[in-house]
Structure 1
Amino acid sequence: MMKTNLLAWIQEGNITIPTILFSEYRNLNLNEYELVLLLNILTFLEKGHEFPTPDELSARMTISISECNDMLRRLIQRGFIEITDECTNEGIRYEKYSVIPLWERLVEHFLKNNKNTKETDKQEDETDLYTCFEKEFGRPLSPFECESLAMWMDDDHHDPIIIKAALREAVMSGKLNFRYIDRILFDWKKSGIKTIEQAKTHGLKFRQKQTPKGNVKGETHQPTVPFYNWLEQ
Structure 2
Amino acid sequence: MEPLAHALINDGQTTIANALLMHYREVGLTNDELLVYLQFKRLMDQGDQFPDAGVVAESLGESSNSVFQRLHEMLAKKLLTIESITAADQKIHDRYNFDGLYDKLAVALKQHPTETPSNVTNSAGGSVTPSTGENPRERVFKAIETEFGRPLTPMEMQSISKWFDEDHYAPEIIELALREAVLRQVYNLNYMDRILLNWQKRNLTTPAQIEADRQRGIENRLNAAPSAQRKQTGANAGPKIPLFKLGEDTTQK
TM-score range, shorter chain: 0.3 to 0.5
**Which fold has the larger relative contact order, with Cα–Cα distance below 8 Å and residues 6 or more apart in sequence?**
2
Give the structure with the larger helix fraction.
1
Give the structure-2-normalised TM-score.
0.37
